[in-house]
């Protein structure tokens, strides 16, 4: 993978920036330079964000990288173009961001987007737009995770210096992420959890066995013997004997229950039949009473039948009556409609008369309006004169404005000219002080370097003293831990011996109790047992013995580990004393001022840095003064030119104003005396046009009103005639219907009152209810007669039975039967419950034997995998150690070249303090002294070189580990400032030699020496308002 170009929009300090990496294709190494905080590393953040959706440092996500100066209409995006294996890839990614809505006001939360396009030979092959799909595609393409990509592409020197001196535990965290060995850690943790689960399961089985044993139910004759039995096997044997005896008792009780149930069934049948007969006798009496009540209701039913006949007659005349009522309502409505039409006819006649009068009044004004039309034509004929006058007035006003502006502009230019001349004089005075300040700066830089070296030596000495003191304290703690572990080990041994002896005594007692005459004794072999050993009551299980033995073995192993740790700390203290002595000698050799106080040296460094800051500020001011001086001279020339131009423009403006005044006087003479201004002319013309337009509108409206009212009056006359005809027809129809209804009412009700008929029609809704009442009475009467006949046939000549006696006899026999059943069920439940518990205990005892075998094997495996053995090296640590050895082997090729064969990395073999913290330490072999030494003893420049070699080696191993994927880019972030001239030259040679494989190498730094050595540069320049821009340099 090789970068080609990077387009950044509103990302970090960049507004719209295009970075073309192809500019540096002819340079082995190029420099990314700029001030601290300018945005050099942000360029790599943009590449990481485009590829993986996250930045290189993970401190901020893509959304947080949105530029502070971006407005709601500006969209943040990054587009990265790179080549890989003959194809070109363009990936554009936009973070989740708040953007102004395209339509309307307000903002919207626009979700993250990505687009990946693949090209080959200029032809598009594929395009992906789903985030998860693109992320998977990039990981599969590069065969790297985001963290591995950052490790290979970007080398942050500070991080690798920390990694170089980190403990094995800290290195484990970093290497696990890079090489993905968390699987081994998870496996080891899973084994520990599985072992704990197995131990818990075994304890649960022991507890459950005790619970089941306590839940067993015993007969009175076996209860005492069961309480004396401790072993589960003895308890199960006694329970088997009890179950056999209980089964025999159960068969006998079942026979007794059946005999009692037969007697209960017989009595229950007799009682049921007596209850049924009693109910039939009572029912017969109730039916006779109901028959009497129905006879009383017969008179009422006759009245209901007469009412039904009247309602049916009214129902036959219902249609005529409703038509008669509806006709009366229509007569009222027609009379009301006739009245309203006549009133409206009169109102319309009055409106027509008024509209005709308005029409006549407007016709009289016609000659007046003709004169207005003629006057409008006369005024429109002189419009051109007024237009010319208006144009001249506008030009004259603009000429006055221009004249005022030019006068003000000339005064401003004169003031600026004087100010710039004064400023230029002051700048030239300040520039003359530069040479003296440069000499002071060089002296301070030399003094600063001397003080920094001295401070470093003091820090090395103080650090070694602190480490030695800490190690001595750890030696004391380790020695105390050995003493404590020895005491605990003795206690565990005593505890194990005691429990083991108790268990043996109990086993001997149990076996002695089971001896039979003539069988050899398991202890002495004798076949004669005159005095058997008394039964032991000690409660110790075989599991407790095994647990005590395991605790004693673990205590012995811990004692060995404590002793090894103590011995390792003693060796470390000895080595640290030697290192402290060497550091003190080196300090005395360098310290010419005999100052050993770190704080005092720090104060001197701070004072030098403060003086340097002051000088740097002054020099910066002088540098700016030079730039300002050049700008000021150019500005003076420009201001003089502008002043000359302004004078010429003033002369032209005065001449233009005089010409326009003359033109205005000539035009005014050609206009009417009463309309000499454009405003007066336009006002008069507007009034005349308005008057004419209003007259035409009023006349047209009056004509339309007259026509409208005439049409309306004709229509109203036709309406009155039509309503009168309808009213006469409806009066005839209603009279005929009323005569028919009165005749029918007289015939049926002997009265001509139609209201009686209407009253019956209103009661028609009750007809169905009345018919239902009559039908129900008839049905009920027939039903009761049939029920009386059936009841008499069922009772016949039978007498009332004695139910109380039968009930008492049944209760007595039921009580006897229930007693027998309860005894039977109680015994049956006890047998079933005991049998279930016995089966559960047997299953648990079988499971316990299997669990103990698995527990022992799992304990051994977990101890090895989790690094609890003598080497204190876990499986994951062993795998990481193998990867680290590969890294050191690869890195040594770089380190040997960078140090002229003096240094090489070696894996530390000495143990580190703390459990499980060994195996990933790194030492430096110094060929000058012929032995290993700690990486902590390297100077600042040496640490940088070692970290650079380690970073390059790690990147190469990760690249090979990822399938040999070819990454043709490398960025090194800072760190070169600590190198001397020779080390810097060797580092540059090493990096340039790596370019032989066409790898692009960029150094991110603000070191002045690198800017002087590397011609190809990508320069990041801050503008001072939070924004930065990039530019290129390809030669000195």
Tokens for 578, please give them.
């030697």
Looking at residue 11, its pLDDT comes to 93
Q: Which of 794, 822, 852 is the last residue of a domain?
A: 852
For 242, the 3-state DSSP assignment is helix
Q: Strand ranges (DSSP E) for 853-929?
A: 903-907, 922-926
Looking at residue 996, its pLDDT comes to 45
Percent of the chain with pLDDT over 90: 8
Spatial separation of the C-alpha atoms in residues 738 and 326, rounded to whole Å: 12
pLDDT digits (tens, 9 = 90+) for 877-910: 778 778 888 888 888 888 887 788 888 888 887 7
For 124, the 3-state DSSP assignment is strand
Q: Are 682 and 390 in contact (CB under 8 A)?
A: no
Q: Are 678 and 389 in contact (CB under 8 A)?
A: yes
Tokens for 116, please give them.
């990946």
Q: Are 882 and 924 in contact (CB under 8 A)?
A: no
Both 394 and 495 in one domain: the answer is no
Both 451 and 554 in one domain: the answer is yes
Looking at residue 81, its pLDDT comes to 95
> 1005-1014: b or e for each residue (b if 16 or more CB lie within 10 Å)?
bbbeebbeeb
Angle between the N-to-C axes of helices 298-316 and 232-296, in degrees from 0 to 180, rounded to the nearest 10:
80
Angle between the N-to-C axes of helices 875-898 and 981-993, in degrees from 0 to 180, rounded to the nearest 10:
110
Both 581 and 647 in one domain: the answer is no
Tokens for 763, please give them.
């009661």
Any idea what the CATH number is for the domain that residue 583 is in? Answer: 1.10.287.620
Both 221 and 234 in one domain: the answer is yes
Q: Are 485 and 555 in contact (CB under 8 A)?
A: yes
Mean pLDDT by 10 residues, the chain (1036 residues): 92 93 85 86 89 73 81 92 92 91 80 94 92 91 78 64 73 70 73 81 83 85 80 82 86 84 85 81 81 80 82 84 85 85 85 84 83 80 77 83 85 84 80 79 77 76 83 85 86 83 73 62 58 58 80 82 80 80 72 70 83 84 82 82 84 83 77 72 82 86 86 85 85 84 84 83 84 85 83 78 82 84 86 89 84 78 68 72 84 82 83 62 86 82 79 77 67 68 70 62 78 85 88 82
For 18, the 3-state DSSP assignment is strand
> How would you classify the pairing of strands 30-34 and 903-907?
unpaired
Which residues are registered as beta bridge partners of 2?
83
By C-alpha distance, which of 862, 908, 920, 905 is closest to 173? 920
Tokens for 499, please give them.
């429990």
Residue 732 lies in a domain: yes
Residue 599 lies in a domain: no
By C-alpha distance, which of 80, 76, 62, 77 is closest to 21? 80
Angle (CA) 117-122-123 rounded to 5° is 65
Both 474 and 577 in one domain: the answer is yes
Both 719 and 831 in one domain: the answer is no
By C-alpha distance, which of 845, 820, 842, 828 is closest to 217? 828
Looking at residue 35, its pLDDT comes to 85
Looking at residue 83, its pLDDT comes to 92
Look at the block and give the residue holding tokens 């230019």: 413
DSSP code of residue 873: -
324, with CB counted inside 10 A (0-12, 13-18, 19+), is buried
Residue 413 lies in a domain: yes
Note down the domain range covering 243. Answer: 213-286+802-852
CA distances (Å), 512 to each of 229, 523, 525, 536, 541, in order?
A: 15, 9, 12, 10, 18
| CA end-to-end span of the chain | 30
Both 636 and 735 in one domain: the answer is no
CA distances (Å), 579 to each of 453, 467, 582, 848, in order?
A: 18, 11, 5, 58
141, with CB counted inside 10 A (0-12, 13-18, 19+), is middle
Which residues are registered as beta bridge partners of 1022?
1028
Both 457 and 427 in one domain: the answer is no
Angle (CA) 239-244-246 rounded to 5° is 90
Both 739 and 839 in one domain: the answer is no
Spatial separation of the C-alpha atoms in residues 576 and 913, rounded to whole Å: 14
Q: What is the 3-state secondary structure (H, E, C) of 299-329?
A: HHHHHHHHHHHHHHHHHHCHHHHHHHHHHHH
Spatial separation of the C-alpha atoms in residues 699 and 635, rounded to whole Å: 75
Both 580 and 484 in one domain: the answer is yes
Residue 164 lies in a domain: no
Residue 36 lies in a domain: no
Q: In what order do the strands lie in the sheet with 903-907?
A: 903-907, 922-926, 931-934
Look at the block and give the residue holding tokens 């039949």: 273
Spatial separation of the C-alpha atoms in residues 59 and 72, rounded to whole Å: 24
Both 282 and 248 in one domain: the answer is yes
Tokens for 389, please give them.
């006058």
Residue 217 lies in a domain: yes
* Number of domains comprising the chain: 4
Spatial separation of the C-alpha atoms in residues 323 and 321, rounded to whole Å: 5
Residue 244 lies in a domain: yes
Rg (Cα) of the chain, in Å, rounded? Answer: 59
* Dihedral pair phi/psi, residue 1017, rounded to 5°: -140, 140
Spatial separation of the C-alpha atoms in residues 537 and 603, rounded to whole Å: 81
Tokens for 381, please give them.
């004929």
Q: Are 85 and 125 in contact (CB under 8 A)?
A: no
Both 497 and 575 in one domain: the answer is yes
pLDDT digits (tens, 9 = 90+) for 14-32: 999 999 999 888 887 888 9
Spatial separation of the C-alpha atoms in residues 983 and 944, rounded to whole Å: 10
Q: Which of 589, 604, 621 is the last residue of a domain?
A: 589
Residue 468 lies in a domain: yes
Tokens for 585, please give them.
């000698």
What DSSP line would sit under 953-978, residue for residue?
A: HHHHHHHHHTTS----EEEEES-GGG
Q: Which of 554, 589, 624 is the last residue of a domain?
A: 589
Looking at residue 978, its pLDDT comes to 61
Look at the block and give the residue holding tokens 């009761």: 784
Spatial separation of the C-alpha atoms in residues 657 and 403, rounded to whole Å: 9
Spatial separation of the C-alpha atoms in residues 60 and 425, rounded to whole Å: 49
Any idea what the CATH number is for the domain that residue 701 is in? Answer: 1.10.287
CA 561 vs. chain centroid, Å, equals 47
């Amino acid at each position: 993978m090789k970068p080609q170009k990077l387009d950044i929009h509103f990302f970090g300090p960049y507004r719209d920036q295009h970075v073309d990496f192809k500019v540096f294709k002819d340079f082995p190494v190029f420099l990314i330079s700029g001030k601290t905080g300018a945005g050099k590393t942000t360029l790599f953040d943009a590449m990481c964000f485009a590829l993986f959706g996250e930045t290189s440092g993970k401190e901020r996500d893509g959304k947080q990288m949105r530029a502070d100066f971006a407005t709601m209409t500006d969209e943040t995006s990054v587009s990265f173009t790179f080549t890989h294996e003959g194809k070109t890839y363009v990936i554009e990614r936009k973070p989740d961001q708040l953007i102004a809505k395209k339509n309307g006001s307000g903002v919207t939360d626009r979700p993250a987007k990505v687009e990946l396009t693949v090209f080959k030979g200029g032809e598009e092959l594929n395009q992906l737009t789903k985030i998860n799909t693109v992320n998977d595609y990039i990981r599969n393409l590069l065969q790297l995770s985001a963290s591995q990509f950052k490790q290979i592409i970007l080398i942050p020197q500070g991080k690798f210096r920390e990694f170089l001196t980190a403990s094995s535990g800290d290195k484990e965290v970093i290497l696990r992420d890079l090489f993905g060995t968390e699987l081994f850690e998870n496996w080891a943790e899973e084994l520990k959890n599985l072992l704990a689960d197995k131990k818990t399961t075994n304890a649960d089985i022991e507890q459950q066995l005790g619970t089941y044993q306590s839940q067993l139910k015993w007969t009175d004759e076996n209860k005492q013997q069961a309480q004396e039995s401790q072993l589960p096997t003895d308890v199960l044997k006694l329970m088997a004997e009890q179950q056999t005896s209980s089964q025999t008792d159960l068969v006998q009780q079942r026979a007794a229950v059946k005999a009692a149930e037969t007697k209960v069934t017989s009595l229950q049948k007799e009682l049921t039949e007596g209850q049924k007969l009693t109910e039939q006798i009572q029912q017969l009496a109730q039916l006779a009473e109901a028959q009497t009540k129905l006879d009383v209701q017969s008179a009422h039913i006759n009245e209901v039948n007469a009412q039904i006949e009247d309602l049916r007659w009214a129902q036959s005349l219902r249609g005529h009556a409703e038509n008669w009522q509806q006709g009366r309502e229509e007569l009222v409505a027609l009379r009301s409609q006739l009245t309203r039409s006549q009133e409206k006819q009169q109102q319309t006649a009055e409106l027509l008369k008024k509209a005709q009068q308005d029409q006549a009044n407007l016709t009289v004004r016609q000659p007046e309006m003709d004169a207005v039309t003629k006057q409008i034509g006369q005024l429109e004929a002189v419009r051109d004169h007024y237009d010319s006058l208006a144009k001249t007035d506008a030009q004259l006003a603009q000429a006055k404005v221009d004249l005022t502006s030019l006068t003000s502009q000339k005064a401003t230019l004169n003031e600026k000219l004087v100010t710039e001349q004064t400023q230029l004089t002051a700048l030239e005075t300040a520039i003359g002080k530069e040479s003296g300040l440069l000499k002071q700066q060089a002296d301070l830089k030399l003094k600063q370097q001397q003080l920094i070296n001295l401070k470093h030596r003091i820090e090395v000495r103080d650090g070694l003293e602190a480490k030695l003191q800490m190690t001595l304290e750890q030696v004391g703690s380790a020695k105390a831990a050995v003493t404590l572990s020895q005491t605990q080990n003795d206690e565990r041994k005593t505890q194990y011996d005691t429990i083991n002896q108790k268990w043996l005594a109990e086993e001997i007692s149990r076996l002695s109790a089971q001896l039979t005459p003539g069988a050899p004794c398991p202890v002495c072999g004798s076949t004669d047992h005159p005095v058997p050993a008394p039964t032991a009551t000690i409660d110790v299980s075989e599991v407790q013995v095994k647990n005590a033995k395991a605790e004693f073995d673990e205590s012995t192993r811990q004692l060995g580990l404590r002793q090894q740790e103590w011995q390792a700390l003693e060796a470390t203290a000895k080595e640290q004393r030697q290192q402290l002595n060497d550091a003190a000698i080196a300090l005395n050799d360098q310290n010419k001022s005999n100052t050993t106080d770190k704080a005092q040296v720090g104060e001197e460094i701070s004072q030098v840095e403060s003086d340097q800051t002051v000088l740097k500020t002054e020099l910066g001011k002088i540098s700016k003064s030079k730039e300002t001086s050049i700008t000021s001279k150019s500005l003076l020339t420009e201001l003089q030119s502008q002043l000359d131009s302004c004078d010429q423009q003033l002369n032209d403006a005065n001449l233009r104003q005089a010409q326009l005044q003359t033109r205005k006087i000539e035009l005014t003479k050609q206009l009417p005396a009463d309309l000499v201004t454009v405003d007066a002319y336009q006002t008069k013309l507007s009034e005349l046009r308005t008057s004419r337009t209003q007259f035409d509108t009023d006349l047209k409206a009056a004509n339309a009103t007259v026509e409208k009212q005439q049409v309306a009056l004709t229509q109203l006359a036709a309406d009155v005639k039509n309503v009168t005809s309808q009213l006469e027809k409806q009066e005839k129809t209603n009279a005929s219907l009323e005569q028919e209804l009165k005749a029918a009412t007289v015939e049926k009700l002997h009265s001509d009152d139609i209201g009686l008929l209407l009253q019956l029609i209103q009661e028609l809704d009750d007809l169905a209810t009345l018919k239902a009442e009559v039908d129900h009475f008839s049905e009920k009467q027939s039903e009761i007669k049939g029920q009386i006949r059936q009841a008499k046939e069922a009772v016949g000549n039978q007498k009332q039975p004695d139910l109380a006696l039968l009930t008492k006899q049944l209760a007595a026999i039921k009580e006897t039967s229930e007693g027998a059943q309860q005894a039977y069920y109680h015994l049956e439940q006890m047998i079933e419950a005991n049998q279930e518990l016995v089966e559960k205990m047997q299953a648990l005892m079988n499971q316990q034997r299997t669990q103990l075998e698995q527990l022992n094997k799992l304990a051994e495996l977990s101890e090895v995998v989790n690094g609890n053995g003598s080497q204190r090296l876990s499986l994951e640590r062993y795998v990481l150690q193998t990867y680290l050895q590969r890294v050191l082997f690869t890195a040594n090729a770089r380190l040997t070249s960078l140090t002229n064969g003096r240094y090489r990395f070696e894996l530390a073999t000495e143990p580190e303090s703390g459990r499980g913290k060994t195996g990933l330490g790194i030492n430096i072999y110094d060929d000058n002294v012929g032995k290993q030494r700690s990486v902590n003893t390297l100077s600042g420049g040496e640490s940088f070189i070692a970290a650079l070699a380690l970073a390059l080696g790690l990147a190469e191993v990760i690249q090979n580990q990822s399938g040999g994927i070819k990454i043709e880019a490398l960025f090194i972030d800072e760190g070169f400032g600590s190198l001397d001239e020779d080390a810097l030259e060797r580092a540059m040679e090493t990096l340039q030699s790596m370019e032989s494989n066409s790898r692009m190498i960029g150094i991110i730094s603000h070191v002045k020496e690198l800017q002087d050595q590397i011609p190809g540069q990508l320069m990041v320049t801050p503008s001072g308002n939070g924004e930065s821009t990039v530019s290129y340099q390809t030669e000195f």
